[in-house]
Structure 1
């Protein structure tokens, strides 16, 4: 991975990003995504393990007594499960994660059966002809929508192997956009964070460092930040970074905040956690030294894996780095290569430098 000059294309592994984005994996069904992450961790990690919820943990070893650094991006995406199949073969949806009803009608979704078969359907929508204005303005709840499989009845649907509880995800292909720094895909929330965790290990490949660096793909973040807790219990880190997305506010619909292509975003706070000030200050110093631009995020609603990491044991030094994303919790999200590349860079720089002395300096920041 390299940083390119201003206005040129930032070099990233597009095939890795495509595989991570296109893999299907709602909360509790992340195995397909985990296998993709393992494929790439195998190239750089000395050890790979899992916790009992399914979070994947890749360790690049440093010194035996070196600090433990956890870098976490969650694998699960928002989606649905099959709630019911009616007599006419229409599938009723149950959301897993937050969905706005406006983004769903007429979209293609994929059901993944227990045997791994992929079944495509389209979310039903009404023609506007003659529809009362009040009804046109109403947002339909996701649970009131249906998936049309193009079958005659329930028996045909069941013959495809579909069962109650099967996973449903958007049918979206990864694309490099017209300006190739812009990348479109599903599930950047938070496959881009998982990609950062992988690429930090790639940046450290062949280098000596004190830190034992754990790149983690956590599970079940969208339904209660669960995998971060069990992975933290497994690793017992000294310092942790959660990678997640934040809402880009550079479109006609959202103005006045984080924008795509602005570089690194340090999350000062969200509704569930505050950045450790010593760690925040250290990243600021590193960014100044190596010439990386910093931005800041203050998210008053929602949270990240940091929420459960920092409360573990007697407290973990932790913070979130955010990557701005347009159209979050929908079928198609847009990110920018620069934000991704520079986020990898600053975390890798920190991991190269951290030792017991620096760890103690950060710890003492909250005490003196």
Structure 2
């Protein structure tokens, strides 16, 4: 069982804002937690963070890696008459899970809450009713009534968007539910492993590198740069599976 400190950081990690290419907030949460559990901290220009646990030998290098980016969206257009936002995906999305998702749009002026919507059923033609709504026909409604209002609220083309999904424990605290478990739960396992090594003073004949990598959802980019930094002899990638 994980203790309260573990559950709290998992909550902060999963609720943090961090779609691919915009992982800074999530990385900050992780770095704060890991201050006492690593001998050194490395970063790369993409934004991945690597924590070092030194053992009795410099080699072998053992890499434990989990990615911290989440699937999200970017604003691709602002409708002048309605203020609705069109969007493009960051990472892989199945269109059928998008409608009615609450989202957060991060702008230079602050976060805006919205919901993914589409043409309402009573306005659809008979032909349209027989088809699944594709994401190209969806939009984000942030509660404004014009493109001018959306711009005044701070929205710009390219602003990142994530689902809004608060963390919670269910089944009497035995099961956690939230967003971004792909793959912040993998990074969390890495962090708890590093924590146990430090707190329990576990000796080992290796240099262990715990990596929180970025931009996995758009090409595993962070893992590639981290591999060059660490030069691992053994790499263990901690990922999720089908629920």
Shorter-chain TM-score category? Answer: over 0.9
Query: How far is the alpha carbon of 1:179 from its aligned partner?
Result: 3.7
Match of residue 236 from structure 1: 231
1:182-224 Cα deviation digits (max 9, x unpaired)? 1100000001011011011011012222111111011111111
1:64-100 Cα deviation digits (max 9, x unpaired)? 4331111100011001001011102111110011111
What is the TM-score of this pair, normalised by structure 2?
A: 0.92
Distance 1:221 1:137 in 2: 35
Match of residue 94 from structure 2: 100
Of 11, 29, 32, which aligns to 2:2? 11
Q: How does 1:70-149 map to 2 (within 5 A)?
A: 70-87=63-80, 88-114=82-108, 117-129=110-122, 131=124, 134-149=127-142
Match of residue 163 from structure 1: 156
| Residues 95 and 143, structure 1, Cα contact 8 Å, conserved in 2 | no
Query: How far is the alpha carbon of 1:177 from its aligned partner?
Result: 0.9
Secondary structure at 2:241 match in 1: strand
Of 15, 19, 27, which aligns to 1:34? 27
Secondary structure at 2:239 match in 1: strand
Match of residue 143 from structure 2: 150
Which of the pair has the greater relative contact order for Cα pairs under 8 Å at 6+ separation?
2
| Residues 109 and 121, structure 1, Cα contact 8 Å, conserved in 2 | yes
Query: How far is the alpha carbon of 1:130 from its aligned partner?
Result: 7.1
Secondary structure at 1:215 match in 2: strand
Count of residues in Structure 1 that have an aligned counterpart in Structure 2: 238
| Residues 41 and 198, structure 1, Cα contact 8 Å, conserved in 2 | yes
| Residues 99 and 142, structure 1, Cα contact 8 Å, conserved in 2 | no
Shift of the 217–137 alpha-carbon distance from structure 1 to 2, 3 Å rule, reads farther
Shift of the 202–125 alpha-carbon distance from structure 1 to 2, 3 Å rule, reads same
| Residues 21 and 185, structure 1, Cα contact 8 Å, conserved in 2 | yes
Query: How far is the alpha carbon of 1:106 from its aligned partner?
Result: 1.7
Structure 1: 4+ residue segments shifted above 3 A:
125-134
Query: How far is the alpha carbon of 1:122 from its aligned partner?
Result: 1.1
Q: CA-atom RMSD, angstroms?
A: 1.6
Query: How far is the alpha carbon of 1:135 from its aligned partner?
Result: 2.8
**Does structure 1 residue 218 correspond to structure 2 residue 209?**
no
Q: How does 1:44-83 map to 2 (within 5 A)?
A: 44-83=37-76
Q: Which consecutive unaligned segments of at least 5 residues does structure 1 have?
A: 1-9, 249-368
| Residues 118 and 137, structure 2, Cα contact 8 Å, conserved in 1 | no
Secondary structure at 1:124 match in 2: strand
